[in-house]
Amino acid sequence: MGTLKPLLDWFGAPLVQRQIESLTAGGADEVFVVTGNRAYEVQEAVRGASVQSVINPHYKEGKSTSIKAGLAALPESTTTVMLLAVDQPRPAWLIEKTLKSHLQEKALISCPRFDGHGGHPLIFDGSLRLELDTISEESQGVRRVMKAHADEINWVPIDSAIARMDMNTPEAYEAAKDAYGGPEGSA
């Protein structure tokens, strides 16, 4: 991307802060922001009463290390784990719909689905914490857990490409802002 993704402008605020706002408004009780590269710069943009920062000193080893750092910070009593990368912004309505479906269905795993493909956020029952804690880049990370429980996934239909949006280039970032349409995201 050429710059720190969490600090990209997302409708007048750093992207990481907008993600925190969406997660909280969408029903997350607590938000754990895992940082790696230039962690202290990113942490300056992290705000919220129920928000904690977690530094992943092993971030260069891959995304799975950040997931594991976040899991290690969760309270033992955690019953539901939601994963969302900062470069995959999701509006509160999409998070809320996916989370409500997950809880209503008492699902093991829930995933939004658009146009026949899975999206994000991914939501896991707390019983999968130990399994998630064993992921690695070599074992395909979270994909391994998803494949192991493929028949138990609660697919939540979403009628918006936002469910699959990912920003890895400046062009994708600009396209995402256009598709999102504003800080609330188009439904």
Give residue 38's pLDDT. Answer: 87
Give residue 184's pLDDT. Answer: 74
Q: Name the DSSP letter for residue 132.
A: H
pTM of the model: 0.93
In the numeric block, the tokens 């925190």 are attached to 20
Give residue 48's pLDDT. Answer: 83
3-state secondary structure of 69: helix
How many CB atoms are closer than 10 A to CB 57?
Answer: 10
Give residue 186's pLDDT. Answer: 65
Rounded distance between C-alpha atoms, residue 183 and residue 107, angstroms: 29
Each residue's pLDDT expressed in tens, for the chain with a length of 187 residues: 778 999 999 999 999 999 999 999 999 999 999 999 888 899 998 988 899 999 999 999 999 999 999 999 999 999 999 999 999 999 999 999 999 999 999 999 999 999 999 999 999 999 999 999 999 888 889 999 999 999 999 999 999 999 999 999 999 999 999 888 877 776 5
What the chain holds in terms of domains, given with CATH numbers, is: 5-180 (3.90.550.10)
Nearest to 16 by CA among 24, 25, 7: 7
